[in-house]
A = this chain, B = another copy of it.
Amino acid sequence: MENLYKHTIEIQPRFNDFDVMGHVNNTVFMNYFDIGKVSYFKAIWDTDLVDWQEFGLVIARIETDFIAPILISDRVVVRTTILRIGNKSLELSQQIINPDTNQLKAAARTIMVGFDVSTNSAEPITEKCVEAITRYEGRPFKREISK
């Protein structure tokens, strides 16, 4: 499963990511996954600057499993890949792990949908987007109707 993830980024923690129990707050896990997503799409588009207005994808759903607390002593990385590309949506899979121990901290499944900001309406995933993902991941994506 591990080698599914071509993309990994280490997180730089901030002091107030940690709550009174000395754990990274649940809400902050979302920031960590977000850092992974932004970095992933930069890698795919091969650009330092993703133009989110042109980007054509918005987040529709996130499912997150919290497996273990992140402590102040933990180094953590986020791994990101795309599992499936449908007609109007794609499915992103992410993990937060401690790379020193390989302990899984949290996992997230994110559904992103094609969206045209200028017309404010749902759109199919663009071919350009599918090509960029396919090139980066180095494996074919059979387009299917997403749920």
Interface majority SS on A: helix, strand, loop or mixed? mixed
Given contacts A65-B60, A72-B49, contact A27 B20 (CB under 8 A): no
For residue A53, CB closer than 8 A to chain B, the reply is yes
Contact residues in B for A15 (Cβ distance below 8 Å) = 19, 25, 27, 34-35, 38
Check B18–A19 contact: CB distance below 8 A.
yes
Number of chain A interface residues as a range: 35 or more
Q: A49-B73, A58-B66, A59-B66 are known; give 18 further A-B pairs, CB within 8 A.
A: A11-B12, A12-B35, A14-B31, A14-B35, A15-B19, A16-B25, A16-B31, A20-B20, A20-B21, A20-B52, A21-B52, A26-B62, A49-B72, A60-B65, A60-B66, A61-B63, A62-B64, A62-B66
Check B30–A26 contact: CB distance below 8 A.
yes
Given contacts A59-B66, A72-B20, A73-B48, contact A34 B30 (CB under 8 A): no
Tell me, in angstroms, the Cα distance from A66 to B64 when the chains sit together: 14
Contact residues in B for A53 (Cβ distance below 8 Å) = 21
Check B61–A66 contact: CB distance below 8 A.
yes
Tell me, in angstroms, the Cα distance from A127 to B23 when the chains sit together: 27
Which A37-88 residues have C-beta < 8 A from chain B? Answer: 38, 48-49, 52-53, 58-66, 72-73
